[in-house]
Amino acid sequence: MVNDVHPRVAAAHDRLAEVVADSGRLIRCESPSADLAAVARSADRVAEVGAAIVGARPERIVSAGCVHLRWRWGDGPRRVLVLGHHDTVWPLGTIDAIPFEAGDRIRGPGCLDMKAGLALAFHAIAGLDDPSGVTLLVTGDEELGSPTSRELIEAEAEGCAAVLVLEAGADSGALKTERKGRAHYVLTFTGRAAHAGLEPHLGANALTALGSAVGRVAALADDTEGTSVTPTGAEAGTADNTVPELATLRIDVRARTVAELVRVDTATRGLVPADPGVALEVAGGIDRPPLEATMTAGLFRRASALAEGLGLAPLTGAAVGGGSDGNLTAAAGVPTLDGLGAVGGGAHARHEWVDTALLGDRLALLTALIEDVLAETGAGDLP
């Protein structure tokens, strides 16, 4: 480090080796979201690693078998919610194929999304002179859409001045100042089976009805509004010589505004099968509202001013299609800033990686931002 570097930045870089090592401890304990036993083991590891860094054990919260962890400091009002998750998209055994590596880049399943982000959260809180007013919530089902943690997240965010989300930064480290909302649907077509050779006319073909619906569903997308409607999977049929009685279609929807999500939701629920002999059931719906720029602007200005004061590279913001738990807290009316975690690439891909050199700067920024919000003063006004 050069002599004119800010002392907070220097201190953060001095802890870089610890952040990397702690990231490795978390990465090596696999935590596929749908495997509750694996998530429970991961929660044990996260609690162990976190307690060693911050000097306190978390509260263990189990909801529908999924383990979430909560640390709270101080007895006064909650000021800052630091939000992360310890589940990943990777199945058990991935660590054998993609082992943890640390050099210029950190590798391993879930390194970017978001085990390194958790390590940053622990070290940032440990670096505060007084963390009173901080809550750290680490959930275990974010990759599934937070079905068991949503109410907990919204409750912990209530009354806070800021929610800081430790998801990975966007390209080149940009903070995530906008996220699309999302909806998921499963369309089930139920027809009538018949022998495909002897009497196909007596059947009602669920697969044909599904095929007709695919084009109508895809046509709901609107590029000018940034709305995508993507058929992502389909299943149908039981035998080569049988008219399919059952077919299912899965759909992923992303949109920048609530109005667009509602438009697509209304149209999807209003679909009528082309064959009147086929019934349609629509399951699912809107599960994450958008994270809109109005809910991030104040915190982004604040973080940008802090970064300048620390001598860090200027911050940039990015609008992204993926959702996070930050969508939930922003929709609840709490100022939220996302993408404060590690910087790298390849989230949810086998080449997932973290830029080791940038972890120190990220740690310095996160520590300063938490401290600044706790002090109720800062370089920018919260919305």
Residue 101 host element (H or E): strand 101-102
Residue 91 to residues 98, 168, 299, Cα–Cα distance (Å)? 12, 20, 36
- SS3 track for 304-353: HHHHHHHCCCCCCEEEECCCCHHHHHHHCCCCEEECCCCCEECCCCCCCE
Residue of 30, 87, 113, 371 marked active site: 87
For the record, the structure tokens of 56 come out as 């306190």
DSSP structural state of residue 133: T
- Alpha-carbon gap, residue 287 to 199, rounded angstroms: 43
**115 residue type, one letter:** K
Please give the Cα distance from 362 to 364 (Å, whole number): 5
Structure tokens at 325: 């738990």
**145 CB-contact burial (10 Å; exposed 0-12 / middle 13-18 / buried 19+):** middle
> Is there a catalytic annotation at residue 142?
yes
Edge-to-edge strand ranges of the sheet holding 279-288:
228-236, 246-255, 181-190, 279-288
Can you tell me the distance from the alpha carbon of 336 to that of 330, in angstroms, rounded to the nearest whole number?
6
DSSP symbols for 149-198? THHHHHHHHTT-SEEEE-SPP-GGG-EEEEE-EEEEEEEEEE-B--BTTT
Q: Is 87 a catalytic residue?
A: yes
Q: Which of 22, 30, 141, 142 is catalytic?
A: 142
Sequence-distant (6+) residues with CB within 8 A of 257 are: 181, 225, 290, 292
Distance spanning both ends of the chain, measured CA to CA: 36
The residues assigned a catalytic role are 87, 142
